[in-house]
Amino acid sequence: MVRRAKRAQPLRLPAPLGRRGSTLAKPVGRPFAAPPALQGGWRRKMRRPPASQRPDLPSQICRSRAVSSAIERFAAERRRALEDSGLLATTAGTCPLQRSGFELTAKGWRSKAAEILDRARHLVAYRAWQGSATQEANGLLTAAAAYVVKTGIKPTYTSSKRGTFSQYYFTLHKDNQPRPRMSKYFCEHVEVAHELARVLAPVIRLVAGIFRRNFPLLYEYYARTLDYAVRGDASLESLFHPFASFALNVGEVVCERHLDCTNLGPGLCCIVPFGRYNPSADCRVGLADLECEIEVGPGVPLLIPSAAFTHYNTPLTTQGACRGSAVFWTGGTLFQFQELGGRMVSELSTAERHEYQAGRSSRITAGIARFPKRPF
């Protein structure tokens, strides 16, 4: 159902997108104040920057403190503040409305998926639609949050760069170790991890299916990497396939602006908010570098390149609303482990190390090529 336009209301932007107390008008379409999926969903300044300043996925990866597709974490200069995004935000299925150089297409957020494309039309972010599967996911995640609280186990973190709330991390990672391993927290609470994987099996299938359909090459890369890591090692478990790690965030989950710089640079993580809230008022995931915020309904998966774009979510504003989140990801060094045939960089010969370091650009190019391209 499409609502007709009302006069555009001013939009208060969170700092640093706008100065404290400043307002900008919502983008206005014909004949709507904004397409319903964009009302509160995609929000941005409507100045059009010069073409040279419009970011795309390669430039974001190189500007961020990210890791390459071979997952060598490289030290890059901190990203400069962007004047504006210049990306194309689209939702499948309708005719575009042109606004200050942005292509905006949408129907209601409840009925349609939404996409963000870079200027080369790579699909770099995807929000699923809401339906019976996401309603089930919301119920299961709410029950999972109640379960972990009832167990009485201490969260992995109660405060981190992401914010102050209970954060339960169950991870298969490598970091700087010679071989992948389950995290200490996972090993201490393995029964809880198994119960969560059992209860959330439909959610894991939903996330994997959306990932596979929309990013088939990336999905295959993630699945192959995880399968390689656990092969031949009975101590490792892949409970959240194709992702190696899972976090359940419980409480009033408000994530501060942050960059997941240990994740795969040209890769994705999946965020699934859950609870009881109004998406327009209480759950917008922001991509700060693009100056846009995406409405996400309860139980709806959102895939974003979390190592390339600084992201956050908005506070709850509706009385009685509650919101948690589930996050699926794979650490960058796990991909490096697979690409180096199970070795560390320090285990390479001098010639192999020089060859590996010289191939950084080609690995980034190959990583970006795994993102699907939409036709012009």
Residues with Cβ within 8 Å of residue 276, at least 6 apart in sequence:
298, 320, 321, 322, 323
Write out the chain's pLDDT in tens, 376 residues. 433 434 433 333 333 333 333 332 233 333 323 333 333 334 333 344 444 555 666 666 555 433 333 323 332 332 332 222 233 333 333 222 222 222 333 333 445 789 998 888 899 899 998 899 999 999 999 999 999 999 999 999 998 888 889 999 999 998 888 899 999 999 999 999 999 999 999 999 999 999 999 999 999 999 999 999 999 899 999 999 999 999 999 998 888 888 888 899 899 999 999 999 988 888 889 888 888 889 999 999 999 999 888 899 888 888 889 999 999 999 999 999 999 999 888 899 999 999 999 998 899 899 999 999 988 7
Q: What is the pLDDT of residue 261?
A: 85
Residue type, 187: C
Task: Reduce the secondary structure of the chain to three states and give it as a string.
Answer: CCCCCCCCCEEECCCCCCCCCCEEECCCCCCCCCCHHHCCCCCCCCCCCCHHHCCCHHHHHHHCCCECCCCCECCCCCCCCCCCCCCEEECCCCCCEEECCEEECCCCCCCCCEEEECCCCEEEEEECCCCHHHHHHHHHHHHHHHHHHHHCCCCCEEEECCEEEEEEEECEECCCCCCCEECHHHHHCHHHHHHHHHHCHHHHHHHHHHHHHHCHHHHHHHHHHHHHHHCCCCCCCCCCCCCCEEEEEECCCCCCCECCCCECCCCCEEEEEEEECCHHHHCEEEEHHHCEEEECCCCCCEEECCCCCCEEECCCCCCCCEEEEEEEECEHHHHHHHHCCCCCHHHCCHHHHHHHHHCHHHHHHHHHHCCCECCC
In terms of Cβ atoms closer than 10 Å to its own Cβ (0-12, 13-18, 19+), residue 211 is: buried
Query: What structural domains and CATH numbers belong to the chain?
Result: 132-337 (2.60.120)
Give me the residue label for tokens 């890769």: 267
Q: Are strands 114-117 and 88-90 parallel, antiparallel or unpaired?
A: antiparallel
Q: What is the pLDDT of residue 60?
A: 61
Q: What is the pLDDT of residue 53?
A: 53
Q: What is the pLDDT of residue 232?
A: 82
- Give the number of C-alpha atoms closer than 13 A to the C-alpha of residue 255, restricted to the C-beta side: 27
* DSSP bridge pairs for 264: none
